[in-house]
Structure 1
Amino acid sequence: SRGIEQLVTSLNEWTEETSKAVESVGSGADATSAPMVFSSDESYTPPSAWQYAVYKPNKKTGLAGWESSYNRFLDCESPLTIAMSPTNGRPIQVNTVVKHIQDSLLHGRPVPLKKLAAIVPPPNREEWSELGRCEELTGLNVEGDPATSGTNGEVFRLTDYLAPIMGADFVAKDFKERTEEEKAKFNHWCGLLNWYLTLRRSKYQPTFQGDDDSKVTAE
């Protein structure tokens, strides 16, 4: 059926993107750098919702677009399972489900970060440092209003923020002109940047394996 075909396509695309991202990590930060670690399986609750997080419930369901994925994740469903059978019935990308769960954190909801990180790993120490360097070089405010915190007061764009990593040639290219390797590298860094933005905006202080004051272990 069409639904099954869409599901297979969705899963194949996610698997392919994940594989390419892993292969392309070498063209960036050190993939062997200390991973981010979490002290327990308990959820992290932000001190408050991000001031620019806008809650927009659907008229039919009464829930925001991210909320169903979030609720199901808390009920111990995996992002892969949620992606296969979302509320609207049409399969979606696993990364979309992960983004839904990250969005819930911006709305002040508690999220079991260790559980989420087991699905899509957050930046390691060097990758986190690289993303911080992008913030310094671009001058973009990751905690500001995304409608005006971009280049020259425009909307915040991941491409502009990642320019120091991707290079000026990549930024200037039309999407259709990008090579598969460039797309894989960009998708990889976009995934890491989504983690970075989420944690920064929710006031989470990351800990990495080997930190002197760390009593956590990577599992």
Structure 2
Amino acid sequence: LMQGRSLAMKQDSGKAIQVNTVIGHLSEALMQGRSLDMSRFAELAPSLTKAQWDRLDIIAAQLSPPPSDVCLDKDFKQKDFLRPILGDKVDQDFATKTESDRQDEAVWYERIRLFRLC
């Protein structure tokens, strides 16, 4: 996925703008009902396979029926979606996680953010 990539544009601070930050802002705009050029969004956003989508849909149903409500809940926690996928290791202190575990989490967090939009 796009983890670690940055855009050529820079902020006033001089730091490169991170792709994930842009995706986050675009996702938030969608959640607020603002219009968005989805073809441009799709160029940056992660994609989900049907199997991954179905897995997240099942977790949503288990967390709070009806599933459409769980993603809109103000107390929504991505980690609640992640735990059934990656197990209890998601609750470990960040400093004790392996690089592989951190990468797995980052990939799934991107997928969860995209799932939450729909």
- Is TM-score (shorter-chain normalized) higher than 0.5? yes
Cα separation, partners in 2 of 1:102 and 1:88, compared to 1, 3 Å: farther
**Which residue matches 1:208?**
none
**Which residue matches 1:158?**
78
- 1:14 paired with 2:7, answer no
Deviation at 1:112, TM superposition (A): 1.8
Q: What are structure 2's unaligned runs of at least 5 residues? A: none
1:1-219 equivalences in 2 (<5 Å): 14-15=4-5, 80-81=7-8, 84-86=9-11, 89-139=14-64, 141-144=70-73, 146=74, 155-168=75-88, 170-199=89-118
Identity %: 26
The structure whose Rg is larger is 1
Q: TM-score, normalised by structure 2?
A: 0.79
> Matched residue pairs, number?
112
Q: How large is the Cα RMSD of the aligned pairs?
A: 2.2
2-side partners of 1:85 and 1:165: how far apart? 35
1-side partners of 2:63 and 2:83: how far apart? 8
Partner amino acid for 1:94?
V
1-side partners of 2:32 and 2:61: how far apart? 26
2-side partners of 1:90 and 1:124: how far apart? 33
Q: TM-score, normalised by structure 1?
A: 0.46
Q: Compare the two structures and name the one with the higher helix fraction.
A: 2
Moved over 6 A (4+): none
Contact (CA 8 Å) 1:160, 1:171: kept in 2 or not?
no
Q: What are structure 1's unaligned runs of at least 5 residues? A: 1-12, 16-78, 147-154, 200-219
